Amino acid sequence: MDELLSFLVKALVEKEDEVKVDKEEDEKTITYRIKVASEDIGKVIGKNGKTATSIRNIMKSILAKTHKKVFVKFED
């Protein structure tokens, strides 16, 4: 799943080499922290957060079988 998330984000940004995906997992949650270049954060979030919401929905639907809450956080 980490590779899919990384692929989706890299397809959106200009500085692909600065994309970093960190994963934190415990018993009930999985948290992904995505770091991109400061000039690319707007591309990842999108207008009114629609791109970020779409990425979150994709990850939640894929990881639904784990019965854990999934959070995707974007940082620059």
Predicted confidence (pLDDT) per residue in 35-52, tens digit: 999 999 999 999 999 999
Instruction: Say if residue 76's pLDDT is above 90.
Output: no
Domain that holds residue 28: 2-75
Measured in Å, how far apart are the chain's first and last C-alpha atoms?
21
**What whole-number percentage of the chain has pLDDT above 90?**
93
pLDDT attached to residue 8: 95
Q: What is the three-state SS of 10-28?
A: HHHCCCHHHCEEEEEECCC
Query: Residue 57: which CATH number?
Result: 3.30.300.20
pLDDT attached to residue 2: 87
Q: Which two tokens stand for residue 74?
A: 């974007």
Question: How high does pLDDT run on average in the chain?
Answer: 94
CA separation for the pair 25, 52 (Å, rounded): 20
Structural domain total, the chain: 1
